[in-house]
Amino acid sequence: MSLRHAHRFLIGLTLVLGGAMLAWLVQTGNGVRVQDLRFPASDGPRLSALLYVPPSATPERRAPAVLLVHTYLASREAQSGLAIELSRRGYVVLAIGQPGHGYSDPPAGTIGFGGPDGLRFLRSLVTVDRARIGLAGHGLGGAAVLWAAQSGPDQYQAMVLDGSAPGAAGTHEGTRSFPRNLALIYGRYDMFSRPLWGIERATDIGRAEKLAQVFGLQNGAVVGKVYGDPATGLARVLFSPPIPDAATPISTEAIANAVNWFDRILRPGVVSNPGNQTWPWHAAGSAVALSGLVVLLLGSFELLLRVPPLAGLAVPPETGATGRDWRWLLDAILTAWVPVMTFFAFLGLGATWVPAGPVFAQGVTNQILMWILLNAVIGFGVGRLLGSDHATTTGRRGLAIICAIASVAICMTVATLVARGLTVDFHLWVVALKPLSLSRFALFLIYLPGFTLGFAIILHRLNAGLSVYGDSAVAQYVSNIGALAGGLTIFLAVQYGTLFATGQLLTWTQPANISLAVQLLPVMVAVAVIGTFTWRRTGNALVGGLIAGMMVTWYVVGSQAIHIS
């Protein structure tokens, strides 16, 4: 086996290690220690957390501290930008995972979303100054810190709500005195303005009646103006960065707003230049490591094809579409658009037909799986009707299974070792591959057959019916990515284009599902790339379906909430 055959594997490994090391160097800058913790809740599951401790924080010289809580269907790592910026300025930061999310025990949505227990644990740390504690939550994490504030009204001094509102998820409605010293960061293109604030457009937040009650105003709030006296706990300020709700954790402006507010309330007189931020380098490192995992996966597969007897799989495809006639065009259009047209309906069917239960314990994963399977069946039927599914693409099943499992196992092992060794994650905005805990690996095995079946059918149709025999590599990759992800791309472009142009989504009643579509778009791109790469080297759609099924199951099960204990 020559170095030439291993070059993709080595490139992937280099990207993983280099990106992870960059992320680690940034989050530990200025001598900050990052610890991966588990602590018991007072009544329920154990919670996981990342604890950032600056060198200036000691039992003799206690430091101000901030509790951070992520939004629904995210994880503690999603708050790493703000955590890094606060910790490098001398704050102790506890970024917890909500119950049922990441490495926190299920079920999701319980014990005040983890907020009260997070505050209790933070106050117990010997390096924390209990007289200078802040709370910050994004989305549903805002409800978590509001629950924390209700449980200990005198145990915190300042709060930042990102894309959230008092009264969310059963919390108390806001008043002139609750919550204490509030900074509201509300993006101009937030999709949840109706349920949270009772306004049609997020740009109207300054004039919202609910906001007026919290700020004690009659004529609306001016963005950036501080109302009230921090010494009395009645200070209020509104920030309105030009971003959608999901972008708050990766907005330099929003992070600067939060740092500035905590400095003002918890460290009066201290100026730390909140615009000087290093966290984007952490995000870049994480993104490089994530892309490296994909390259490593493909490189591992390529190397395994050089190992007897797996070399028997390495047979270039001898079938495929003969050209792009009207049948091919109709098939490509339906492949791209049927999943979009059925998106809301099939997610709804998944929620109704397969609610979260003792076996299939992730409600949103059930919805995604139903969408995949039903569209796979529809696509198979359409392919048959159009005469495009004519090739046998699932031979050499035993070799295909072994090669697929080995390829993904290498990728998972490297990801786990690197993440555990450096306390870093592999993510790009809303996309993340997290090493699986034992409980989530059990769920991985439960969901794996369904996702694998769906993607085996989808990639059979894609490769047998839409991959034109004799096309160049570039043409096949572009064509297949367009078929699997083109419809979702246009759908999201229209939705967000309408949001940016008018302040409202085109389908304004479905903000949560549109956010889910954002997470699914890169999944479909990755499936197209994996399917095309493996097909071009084996002429076997089964091996691509197996690898795609395992990778998507890993991604979805690792990132979605567990709703049943």
541-559 helix and 279-304 helix, angle to the nearest 10 degrees: 150
CA-wise closest residue to 459 among 382, 368, 407, 530: 530
Cβ atoms of 527 and 304 within 8 Å: the answer is: no
Mind listing the pLDDT tens digit for each residue in 333-353? 888 999 999 999 999 999 999
pTM, two decimal places: 0.94
Query: Distance between CA 553 and CA 448 in Å, rounded?
Result: 6
Q: Residue 93 pairs with which residues in a beta bridge? A: 52, 66
The predicted structure's pLDDT at residue 3 = 57
Cβ atoms of 287 and 426 within 8 Å: the answer is: no
3-state class of 228 per DSSP? coil
Token pair in block for residue 33? 């220690």
Token pair in block for residue 473? 């590599």
The predicted structure's pLDDT at residue 392 = 55
What are the DSSP calls for 384-448, one per residue? HHHT---S-----HHHHHHHHHHHHHHHHHHHHHHHHHHT--EEETTEEE-PPPHHHHHHHHHHH
The predicted structure's pLDDT at residue 395 = 62
The predicted structure's pLDDT at residue 113 = 95
Query: Distance between CA 223 and CA 14 in Å, rounded?
Result: 45
The predicted structure's pLDDT at residue 60 = 96
Average pLDDT of the residues of the chain: 92
The predicted structure's pLDDT at residue 278 = 97
Query: Distance between CA 547 and CA 304 in Å, rounded?
Result: 13
Query: What structural domains does the chain harbor?
Result: 32-273 (3.40.50.1820), 282-559 (no CATH)
Q: Which helix (H) or strand (E) holds 61?
A: none
Query: Distance between CA 485 and CA 426 in Å, rounded?
Result: 22
Q: What is the DSSP letter of 39?
A: E
Token pair in block for residue 97? 């995972």
Say which residues have a Cβ less than 8 Å from residue 60's Cβ, sequence separation at least 6: none
The predicted structure's pLDDT at residue 386 = 72
The predicted structure's pLDDT at residue 270 = 85
Burial class (CB in 10 A: 0-12, 13-18, 19+), 124: exposed
The predicted structure's pLDDT at residue 388 = 58
Place of tokens 């090739």: 391
pLDDT, block means (10 residues), the chain with 565 residues: 74 97 96 96 89 97 97 92 97 97 93 96 97 97 97 97 94 95 96 93 94 92 95 96 93 97 93 91 96 96 90 74 76 91 96 94 96 93 70 70 95 95 89 92 97 93 80 89 95 96 92 94 95 90 93 96 90
CA-wise closest residue to 281 among 12, 22, 15: 22
Helices H / strands E in the chain, number of each: 16, 10
Q: Residue 227 pairs with which residues in a beta bridge? A: 236
Question: What is the b/e burial string over 263-298, where b = at least 16 CB atoms within 10 angstroms of the residue's CB?
Answer: bbbbbeeeebebeebebebbbebbbbbbbbbbbbbb
The predicted structure's pLDDT at residue 394 = 58
Cβ atoms of 65 and 156 within 8 Å: the answer is: no
